[in-house]
Amino acid sequence: MFRFIVRRLLQLVPTLFGLSILLFIWLHRLPGGPETALLGERGTPESRAQIRESLGLDEPLPIQYGRFVKRLVQLDLGTSISTKREVTTEFLQRFPGTVELTITAMIIAIGVGIPLGYLAARRRGSILDQASVGGSLLGTCIPIFFLAYVLKAIFAENLGWFPTIGRQDASINATHITNFFVLDGLLTREWDAAADAIWHLVLPGIALASIPLAIIVRITRASVLEVLGEDFVRTAEAKGLTERTVRRRHVLRNAMLPVATSIGLLTGLLLSGAVLTETVFAFSGIGAFIKDAISNLDYPVLMGFIMIIAVVFALVNLLVDVSYSLIDPRVRVR
């Protein structure tokens, strides 16, 4: 097991290496060069020269690259042009929000998707089946920010059931320790603050969950159908086991494996979607900040965030692989 993890971690190295080269090239190819990227358009010649010197831009490329990597490894990602604060600080303050949001979306997608996909497969051809197949096709075709707008306009703006913006009501004056607002509320026993934070997660969570939900329904349905046709299920049924037992012991368990493997893929979708959803709901996570960085041409933030997200994404994939190999020993072979 340990060796498996080590091997997978080693596989990360070339990917990260390549990514760092890409970002390095990216930085150098930006219109106006790295000085402009780091200073914005308003740089005076002196400060440009200063930056050129501090980055060693007049030295040979490999040496420059070495420095670049050194700074990356030290997590020195520079300073945001728009907020004047460290990029790493910005990330750490906002990441908890995105984590809360993606977890909410994942819970919604899995909690609704698996039962729905299962039922659709069990009652193949029924109205429920057709509706969930059609719905999941539609789900992948709706631009996520449009869905977010529609949800917000109906359930928040007009019905007033949910808040339209942010992670927590600004007038609640909650105590924050970890920046995971729900967790903070529970830890400090400010129950109203925790409830309010959860309340703020519902609509963006649903909007963000739409595509993963559609995918999970389809995967679950397909794999349940496949499992239902397999010999061991027929044997179990022939043995006279009740439908409930068969369902619990065999069908669901086996059908969930493909869903588990797709969680890595879904994380990617969720991180992409977070940029759009957080923007619509003015939800202060990394996604909304990336959108701000695009608007402000805040390259240090864009670059730093992309690098960190790539690492996080890779680690999530690793985690998924490891836990998958725990569930299904067959994967570990090789």
Partner 1 sequence: MRAARPKAAIAVVAVAALAVAGCAESERDNEGSGQSTKDTLVFGTAGDPKVLDPSLASDGESLRVARQIFETLVRPEEGGTKVTPGLAESWTPDSTGTVWTFKLRSGVKFHDGTEFNAEAVCVNFNRWYNATGLMQSADVTAYWQDVMGGFAKNEDAELPPSLFKSCTVKDTTTVDLAFTAVSSKIPAALMLPSFSIHSPKALQEFDASNVSGTADDIKYPSYAMEHPTGTGPFKFKAWNVADKTLTIERNEDYWGNKAKLKTLVFRTISDENARKQALRSGDIQGYDLVGPPDVEPLKSEGFNVLTRPAFNILYLAINQKGNPKLADVRVRQAIAYALNRQALVDSKLPPGAEVATQFLPSTVEGWNDQVTKYDYNVQKAKDLLAQAGASNLTLRFHYPTEVTRPYMPGPKDLAELMMADLKAVGINVEAIPLKWTPDYLNATTSGSAHDLHMLGWTGDYGDGYNFIGTFFARQKDEWGFNNPALFEKFAKADSTADAAARYALYKELNADIMEFLPGVPISHSPPALVLGKDVTGVKASPLTDERFATAEFKS
Partner 2 sequence: MTLAPGRKKEKLDRLAELSAVHDDERGVSLWQEALRRLRRNPAAIVGAVILTVFVLVAVIGPFLVPHEPTDTMGIREGVVKSGQGLIPGPSADHWLGYDHQGRDEFSRMVVGARQTLLVGIVATLIGLTIGVLIGGVAGAAAGLGGRWGRLVDSVLMRIVDMMLSLPSLLLAVSVAALLGPGLTTVMIAVGVVSVPIFARLLRGSMIAQANRDYVVAASSLGVRESKIAISHILPNSLAPVIVQATLTLATAIIEVAALSFLGLGNPDSAVPEWGLMLADAQPYLGIRPELAIYPAVGIIITALGFTLLGEAMREALDPKLRR
Please give the span between the terminal C-alpha atoms of the chain, in angstroms, as a whole number: 12
44 binds, among partner 1, partner 2, none (CB under 5 to 8 A by kind): partner 1
Under 8 Å between Cβ of 164 and 123: no
Phi, psi of 171 (to 5 degrees): -90, 0
Any contact of residue 108 with partner 1 (CB under 8 A)?
no
CA pair distance 145, 274, nearest whole angstrom: 10
Any contact of residue 26 with partner 2 (CB under 8 A)?
yes
At 2, list the tokens.
């340990």
36 binds, among partner 1, partner 2, none (CB under 5 to 8 A by kind): none
Closest by Cα among 20, 310, 209, 43 to 52: 43
Any contact of residue 329 with partner 1 (CB under 8 A)?
no
At 252, list the tokens.
């669901």
Any contact of residue 192 with partner 1 (CB under 8 A)?
yes
290 binds, among partner 1, partner 2, none (CB under 5 to 8 A by kind): partner 2
Closest by Cα among 88, 75, 71 to 34: 71
Please list the residues that pair with 79 across neighbouring strands. 86
Any contact of residue 53 with partner 1 (CB under 8 A)?
no
Supply the minimum distance, in Å, between the C-beta of residue 295 and partner 1. Answer: 5
DSSP 158: I
At 130, list the tokens.
């057709």
Q: Provide the 3-class DSSP secondary structure of residue 26.
A: helix
List the one residue from 1, 141, 171, 330 that touches partner 1 (CB under 8 A).
171
CA pair distance 38, 51, nearest whole angstrom: 8
> Which are the contacts of 19, defined by CB distance < 8 A and separation ≥ 6?
307, 310
Within 150-169, the residues that bind partner 2 by CB under 8 A are: 153
Give the contact letters, 124-163, x = binds to partner 1 (CB under 8 A), - = no.
----------------------------xx--xxx-x-xx
Any contact of residue 169 with partner 1 (CB under 8 A)?
yes
| Footprint of partner 1 (CB under 8 A) | 39-44, 46-47, 50, 79, 81-85, 90, 93-94, 152-153, 156-158, 160, 162-175, 177, 179, 184, 186-190, 192, 279-280, 282, 284, 292, 295-297
| Footprint of partner 2 (CB under 8 A) | 14-16, 18-19, 22, 26, 29-31, 137-138, 140-146, 149, 153, 267-269, 271-273, 275-276, 279, 290-291, 294-295, 297, 299, 302, 306, 309-310, 313-314
